[in-house]
Structure 1
Amino acid sequence: MKTADHAAQVRNGSTVDPGSRAARLGDLSQRVPPPRIADVWLFPPLPQVEDSSEFLLFTSILENGGRALYSARMVPANGTPPHQVVVEHGRAPADRVPGLVAGLQRRLGQPNPARHVSIDGDGARWEAFVEQSREADAAD
């Protein structure tokens, strides 16, 4: 979601909104290597929270096959440009994650389900997801 509050950066001669989904995914891939990303859920902005933006929930693949569960959201910083904050919320067996996500969605009261993207540690899936996000960002 683009707003006037999001400062634009110029990279390679083109304008990149640091709050765009593609930029946010690029930031995530710097924090967690795509071969470790299992799933991404895209939650719409929360209508009851002012200045809310789409937030991401994602899992990384642990050595034991379990998943670490993270959230990523844009936050306004007093006097600085908005930036993405990534927080690890816990770890769980892979088969428990869908239930955790469904419970979160119920608590948030979202009428529409979060969009789920399965990456499964596949670099090609990750790149396709990032490219789809760039195209969606350009269309906005």
Structure 2
Amino acid sequence: MDAKVTKDMPHSGNGITVDPGSRAARLGDLGRRIPPPRIADVWLFPPLPQVEESSEFFLFTSILEDGGRALYSARMVPANGTPSHQVVVEHGRAPANRVPGLVAGLQRRLGQPAAVRHIPIEGDGARWEALLEQSREADASVDPAGQGR
């Protein structure tokens, strides 16, 4: 499940070009790879200061037929010093009740326990759309230099 985001600049639907590395564009890419009715949870991790060229990365789970979860990560892979495409990797499968412990263990290893944002989707299209809309609004409030408007 490792693939690139299109190199073309996506459009937000209102004629505005969207940065393919923006949260909204990246979540839109995930929604095209895994149907939102199968997405259970999304965790948004901030860029890690100890990792060179780090960008925000996501963990997310999909709902399996047996009720278990497949756990994925999505991160931007740089090319020539700039984020160029998103890589999505499946890391394994687990019962749904084991996933919070797996994520907590990752947070401890990264030293980022308070900064991670968890968004439960549970296959609900309205929740997924709300996350996309919040991400579009957050992206719009940040200028290209990363400074709030």
TM-superposed CA distance for 1:10, in Å, is 5.9
Aligned pairs for 1:126-137 within 5 A = 126-137=128-139
Which of residues 41, 44, 50 is equivalent to 2:43? 41
- After TM superposition, the score normalised by the length of structure 2 is 0.84
Query: For residues 66-104 of structure 1, what are the alpha-carbon distances to aligned partners after superposition, in whole Å with 9 as ceiling and x for unaligned?
Result: 000000001113599610000000000000000000000
Q: 1:139 to 1:81 in 2, by over 3 A?
A: closer
- After TM superposition, the score normalised by the length of structure 1 is 0.89
Would you say how many aligned residue pairs link Structure 1 and Structure 2?
134
> Which stretch shifts more, 91-100 or 102-111?
102-111
1:9 alignment partner, SS class? coil
1:17 alignment partner, SS class? coil
Query: For residues 84-127 of structure 1, what are the alpha-carbon distances to aligned partners after superposition, in whole Å with 9 as ceiling and x for unaligned?
Result: 00000000000000000000000111152410000000001000
Aligned pairs for 1:17-56 within 5 A = 17-56=19-58
Q: Distance in 1 between matches of 2:58 and 2:81?
A: 24
Q: 1:116 to 1:81 in 2, by over 3 A?
A: closer
What amino acid is aligned across from residue 98 of structure 2 in structure 1? Answer: R
Contact 1:43–1:56 (8 Å) recurs in 2: yes
Q: Distance in 2 between matches of 1:128 and 1:96?
A: 26
Q: Structure 1: 5+ residue runs without aligned partners?
A: 1-6
Q: Distance in 1 between matches of 2:83 and 2:43?
A: 25
Aligned pairs for 1:107-122 within 5 A = 107-122=109-124
Q: Distance in 2 between matches of 1:53 and 1:79?
A: 12
Q: Distance in 2 between matches of 1:78 and 1:52?
A: 14
Q: Distance in 1 between matches of 2:76 and 2:51?
A: 13
Q: Structure 2: 5+ residue runs without aligned partners?
A: 1-6, 143-149
RMSD: 2.0
Show the counterpart of 1:9.
Answer: 9
> Which stretch shifts more, 104-113 or 94-103?
104-113
Q: Return the structure number with greater strand share.
A: 1
Q: Distance in 2 between matches of 1:78 and 1:135?
A: 29
